Amino acid sequence: MADLTGDALKVDFGNKVKTTAFAGRFDSFMYEEGNDKATVYGLVANYPFNDKLYTEIGFYAQEGTDNIKEQKIYTLGLGYKFDKNVSLYGEYQKASKDMDEVYGYPSRGDFGDHGWAATLSYKGANIAKKGSWGTYVTYYDQSAAVILDSISEMEDYFAYQEGMKGYEIGVDYVLAKNILANVSYFDIDNKDYSDDDDSAKMLWSTVTFTF
């Protein structure tokens, strides 16, 4: 739903229900049909039913401007750990407005206000342990209304904010303590705006330093 990059204040709290609240200025592709800074705030809570099954709920809000209206996004996810190495997580997302409503256009009925994604993971990189690694595959079926930003900026390759439908395959590897490398491959088509037929393939890599 959102791989946000920017400056923010984040607070983690809770024991049984682990909760993160945040507010800050992040990149957002909704602004000016390109990436710009937006004020976003939200809250994500995780609750384990047992040592295998857990749920996660989230709320995100992006402020409006002279050009776009405020957008709110609600998420509900369910995850299952098959064993110490294999896990599956799926999430449904619902926005308060579709993209026509965000921009104040007359509704054309061709832009959705919801989406979902599912990730199958194997192992997992531990940022504190050099040499640890993990791999995953994710399938996306998301209208643009539920995407604030993605780490690969994949949405920038489409003519409009059209959402995305397709998959990502990635590998994480800890180069050194607190240094995480990721390489991922995307194969994505547009979900919204049926008059268009956009698609994109991308090999994307990042290195993240944690302090």
**String of DSSP letters for the chain:** -B---EEEEEEEE-SSSEEEEEEEEEEETTGGGS-EEEEEEEEEEEEESSSSEEEEEEEEEE---SSS--EEEEEEEEEEE-SSSEEEEEEEEEESS-HHHHHTPPP-S---SEEEEEEEEEE---TTSTT-EEEEEEEEEE-GGG-SB-TT-GGGGSSS---EEEEEEEEEEEEETTEEEEEEEEEEE--S-TT---EEEEEEEEEEE--
Instruction: Give the pLDDT of residue 43.
Output: 96
Residue 136: the pLDDT is 98
Over residues 33-49, mean pLDDT: 82
How many domains in the chain? 1
pLDDT score recorded for residue 139: 97
Supply the CATH number for residue 17's domain.
Answer: 2.40.160.40
Q: Is residue 1 part of a domain?
A: no
Q: What percent of the chain has pLDDT over 70?
A: 81
Q: What are phi and psi of 125, to 5 degrees?
A: -75, 130
Instruction: Say if 114 falls within a structural domain.
Output: yes
Location of structure tokens 């059209």:
162
Average pLDDT over residues 87-93: 98
Range of 1-15, 19-33, 45-59, 88-102 with top mean pLDDT: 45-59
Expressed in angstroms, the distance from the first to the final Cα of the chain is: 25
Domain membership of residue 111 (yes or no) is: yes
Radius of gyration over every alpha carbon of the chain, rounded to an integer in angstroms = 17
Contact 109, 98 (CB under 8 A): no
Residue pointed to by tokens 């705030």:
41
Provide the domain limits for residue 144. 6-209
C-alpha–C-alpha distance, residues 169 and 31, integer Å: 28
Lowest mean pLDDT among 60-64, 70-74, 103-107: 103-107
In a domain, 140, yes or no: yes
- Average pLDDT along the chain: 86
pLDDT at 158 over 80: no
Which is nearest to 69 in space by CA: 94, 41, 43, 99? 99
pLDDT of residue 39: 84
Question: Which pTM does this prediction carry?
Answer: 0.84
Query: Residue 122 pLDDT more than 60?
Result: yes
Is residue 31 in some structural domain? yes
Do residues 30 and 38 lie in contact, with contact meaning Cβ atoms separated by under 8 Å? yes
56 found inside a domain: yes
Residue type, 162: E
Which residue matches tokens 């800074």?
37
Confidence of residue 150 (pLDDT cuts 50, 70, 90): low
CA gap 200, 145 in Å, rounded: 19
Residue 16 lies in a domain: yes
Tell whether 107 is covered by a domain: yes
